[in-house]
Amino acid sequence: MDFLRPASWEDALAAKAAHPTAVPIAGGTDVMVEINFDHRRPEYLLDLNRIGELREWEVGQDSVNLGASVPYTQIMDHLRAELPGLALAAHTVGSPQIRNRGSVGGNLGAASPAGDSHPALLSAGAEVEAQSVRGTRMIPVEEFYTGVKRNALEPDELIRAVHIKKADGPQQFSKVGTRNAMVIAVCAFGIALHPDTRTVKTGIGSAAPTPVRARAAEDFLNAALDEGGFWESGKIITPSIAKQFAELASGACNPIDDVRGTAKYRRHAVGIMARRTLGWTWEQYRGTGPALLEGAA
């Protein structure tokens, strides 16, 4: 195994073009486990740790440009206001040591359905900035996950950054594991209210071959909130709406039985998390949102 250590992003792209089988490594929290377990023996490891700009982020007008290697700890410490859902998800990643090294870029590169950041990215809205010597393309995160541990990157592409929409409303993230910390998701759910567009977006983790949005649940909820004038009134969401939203979120799952849990439990738990996180975000919106809307009107 050769260890490639490019000093600059341009060198990294050139190395990836020259060695398309090279596996990029930053924090190593996933890649090293795979290697140690002998699950993979890459010909080349492409070390991105010398490229400082990958660990930087920029808060723009509408979105955060999050460098691929920004560790979870930084997201928790500095981007809680802009990316509340992702910050909550970051809290649940591994241990403090893992959070100091692991990054969203790594989560996307691995594309495990159990990756903790995916539901938060899906619900917030995000695009993956993929680069190669051929140029740059922006991939909507919904289209990024193509299968179990597979993603939309071309062999010569690297993840430069993730552009995540800044929160325009309350966001929540919830994850079931059979331990109270440092646990891989049995299943997870992310939700973001978008008062600007009067929509709700969701993300489900670890309950289908890829991270998915619960689109039928979103469509139902968006219509129900719209019809009922909930965004304007800020009134409490009726239990029947919450229940149907939860059932549709459950229905969006396509889980398996494995050592971490049964398919039946995953469907059940996603429904519970959907109902609870909707309640939490809506309560928060009721406390702040409608007043702002009225003020704008």
- Positions touching another protein (CB under 8 A) are 33, 36-38, 88, 91-92, 172-184, 186, 259-262, 264-265, 267-269, 272-273, 276, 279-280
On the CB side of 181, how many CA atoms lie within 13 Å of its CA?
5
Q: How far apart are CA 116 and CA 213, in angstroms?
A: 14
Give the helix/strand (H/E) hosting 235. Answer: none
Q: State which residue, 176 or 214, has the beta carbon closest to another protein.
A: 176
Q: How far apart are CA 139 and CA 116, in angstroms?
A: 19
Residue 67, sorted as left (phi over 0), alpha (psi -120 to 50) or beta, turns out to be beta
Q: How far apart are CA 237 and CA 240, in angstroms?
A: 8
Q: State which residue, 33 or 236, has the beta carbon closest to another protein.
A: 33
Contact status, residue 72 vs residue 102, Cβ threshold 8 Å? yes
Residue 178 C-beta: closest distance to another protein, Å: 5
Q: How far apart are CA 169 and CA 285, in angstroms?
A: 7
Nearest 5 degrees, angle CA 103-CA 211-CA 247? 135
Contact status, residue 195 vs residue 223, Cβ threshold 8 Å? no
